[in-house]
């Protein structure tokens, strides 16, 4: 588990427990033992199973956790994800935080899978964006992969993505080429993507060396098809973005672009319905 996720679990538990779980502390006998199952109540794709399991262990290292399904599993309700055994107090204290991680991340994976299914057979890959919950990026991007999607850049450090706000008009294409050449020399592992919102920009950017991707932003289907034809068999890979939803994504894929980026995978995913059900007390 990466350091950020580990710290996030600790933060979430401190946020929820504070100085102590007064409900469990006063209303649940200290020695009572229990067995519980995390149950999925609707069809979907799981993600964050390992994180939820770690929450139960983090509250009480003596809790036994059995992962019955893995992240990336397609489930039909009802389905059992985790089995937990241990002190009732510990299970109840961990319950909400564990479910919060699991339902949120499974929602992202399920949303991603819905988009992926709409473009099956086209060869187009569905990408996420940086529109993630602060601190949750690694988890949410892993959930996208669990749903069959593909990660775009992780942050500002692993891909240069040049948008209108980055461009300095005085230098024009010559200054842009100089910047690309310098970046490729000093950071050869970093790929370069340029954003275009009109065909004239596409035409200009295709004359530059060292461009790995063109982002075709908010173009209608006819313009996307023209951009694909303009690129031809060689040149940068093409990514479409803007106005993408489950009703439009198939049409965009049919234009011949290579990728479609969808901010909604992470910023608008609905949590999957899950619960923890106690089966019996154990002595």
Going by CATH, does the domain composed of 116-267 fall within 3.20.20.70? yes
CB 95 within 8 A of CB 58: no
Contacts of 167 (CB under 8 A, 6+ apart): 176
- pLDDT value at residue 61: 97
- pLDDT value at residue 87: 97
pLDDT digits (tens, 9 = 90+) for 144-203: 999 999 999 999 999 999 987 676 556 789 999 999 999 999 999 999 999 999 999 999
Q: Which residues are catalytic?
A: 96, 131, 163, 195, 217
pLDDT digits (tens, 9 = 90+) for 189-245: 999 999 999 999 999 999 999 999 999 999 999 999 999 999 998 899 999 999 999
CB 50 within 8 A of CB 102: no
pLDDT digits (tens, 9 = 90+) for 70-126: 999 999 999 999 999 999 999 999 999 999 999 999 999 999 999 999 999 999 999
- DSSP codes, 196-260: ESSHHHHHHHTTSSS--EEEEES--HHHHHHHHHHHTTSS-EEEEESS--TTTHHHHHTTT-SEE
Instruction: Tell me which CATH code domain 3-110+270-282 carries.
Output: 3.90.1170.20
Q: Nearest CA to 21 among 87, 98, 94?
A: 94
> Cβ-count burial of 214 within 10 angstroms (0-12 exposed, 13-18 middle, 19+ buried)?
buried
Antiparallel, parallel or unpaired: β 33-40 and 274-282: antiparallel
Dihedral (C-alpha) 246, 247, 248, 252: value to the nearest 10 degrees?
A: 70
Q: Where are the domains of the chain?
A: 3-110+270-282, 116-267
């Amino acid at each position: 588990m990466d350091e950020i996720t580990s710290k996030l679990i600790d933060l979430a538990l401190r946020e929820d427990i504070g100085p102590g779980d007064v409900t469990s502390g006063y209303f649940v006998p200290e020695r009572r033992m229990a067995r519980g199952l995390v149950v999925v109540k609707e069809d979907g794709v799981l993600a964050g199973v390992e994180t939820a399991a770690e929450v139960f262990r983090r509250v009480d290292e003596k809790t036994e956790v059995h992962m019955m399904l893995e992240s990336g599993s397609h489930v039909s309700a009802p389905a059992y994800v985790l089995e937990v055994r241990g002190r009732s107090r510990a299970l109840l204290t961990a319950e909400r935080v564990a479910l919060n991680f699991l339902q949120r991340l499974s929602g992202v994976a399920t949303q991603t899978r819905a988009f992926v299914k709409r473009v099956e057979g086209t060869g187009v890959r569905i990408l996420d964006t940086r529109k993630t919950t602060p601190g949750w990026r690694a988890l949410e991007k892993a959930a996208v992969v669990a749903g069959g999607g593909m990660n775009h850049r992780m942050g500002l450090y692993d891909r240069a993505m040049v948008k209108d706000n980055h461009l300095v008009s005085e230098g024009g294409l010559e200054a842009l080429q100089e910047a690309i050449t310098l970046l490729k020399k000093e950071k050869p592992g970093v790929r370069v993507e340029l954003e275009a919102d009109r065909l004239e920009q596409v035409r200009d950017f295709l004359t530059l060396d060292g461009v790995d991707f063109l982002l075709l932003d908010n173009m209608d289907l006819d313009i996307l098809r023209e951009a694909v034809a303009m690129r031809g068999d060689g040149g940068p890979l093409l990514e479409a973005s803007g106005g993408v939803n489950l009703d439009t994504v198939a049409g965009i894929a049919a234009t011949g672009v290579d990728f479609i980026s969808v901010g909604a995978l992470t910023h608008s995913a609905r949590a999957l319905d899950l619960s923890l059900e106690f089966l019996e007390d154990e002595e």
